[in-house]
Amino acid sequence: MNLKFQKCKNKLLIIRIHSIFIRILILQLIMKKSWKEKLQSKKEMQIKKVDFDFADITAGSTMLIATPEAVNDYVKQIPKGKTISMKTLRNDLALTYGADTTCPLTAGIFLRIVAEAAYEDFQKSNSIKGISPFWRVIDPKSKLASKLSFGKDFLIEQRQKEGIE
């Protein structure tokens, strides 16, 4: 009898451990990274050879897969009152890092990360001082602008303050 009791106790302990493990996994799925954490993730830049035509990229070209930090560094260098198109951003990054072009998909994703992280910083400090001026790249009429979690108003307001459009 004592052996059966011990086996039962062990099974209950295993069930509890599994239950705790499952709860931890669920919490990890629920807890998303902040935009700032996504910006600061330690990703490596890559240059890939494109095997097929993709977007505006021809097969055989070398394509830069940038990082959120590289896009952020670029955006921070744009002078006040000046705008840069996404195409220019992609071309400049490609030239800087020795590729023919920059991936349009990841560049757009990383620009959104830059914008959302900058807005998080703005919300904490209530000042645009020191944040990335993403409004100098993101056109308020673009698809990217419509995806921003904070809407287009902040973007439009900052552009107006700088005499952009």
Segment 42-68, tens digit of pLDDT: 889 999 998 888 788 888 999 999 999
Alpha-carbon distances of 37 from 42, 77, 149, rounded to whole Å: 10, 21, 16
Mean pLDDT within 4-13: 57
Residue 20: what pLDDT?
A: 61
Are 52 and 87 part of one and the same domain? yes
Are 78 and 97 part of one and the same domain? yes
Grade residue 126 by pLDDT with cuts at 50, 70 and 90.
confident
Grade residue 8 by pLDDT with cuts at 50, 70 and 90.
low
Average pLDDT over the chain, rounded to an integer: 86
Tell me which of 126 and 77 has the higher pLDDT.
77
Are 60 and 83 part of one and the same domain? yes
Neighbours of 157 (CB within 10 A): 11
Count of domains for the chain? 2
Are 11 and 88 part of one and the same domain? no
Residue 100: what pLDDT?
A: 96
Grade residue 15 by pLDDT with cuts at 50, 70 and 90.
low
Are 17 and 77 part of one and the same domain? no
Question: Structure pTM?
Answer: 0.79
| Bridge partners, residue 57, by sequence | 54
Are 26 and 43 part of one and the same domain? no
Identify the CATH number of the domain in which residue 63 sits.
1.10.10.10
Are 140 and 112 part of one and the same domain? yes
Are 91 and 144 part of one and the same domain? yes
Are 24 and 39 part of one and the same domain? no
DSSP secondary structure, 121-163, as one string: HHHHHS--TTS--GGGTS-TTSHHHHH-TT-SHHHHHHHHHTT
Domain span at 76: 35-161
Indicate the burial class of 122 (C-beta count within 10 angstroms; 0-12, 13-18, 19 or more). middle
Q: For residue 17, is pLDDT > 90?
A: no
Do the beta carbons of residue 133 and residue 158 sit within 8 Å?
yes
Are 81 and 94 part of one and the same domain? yes
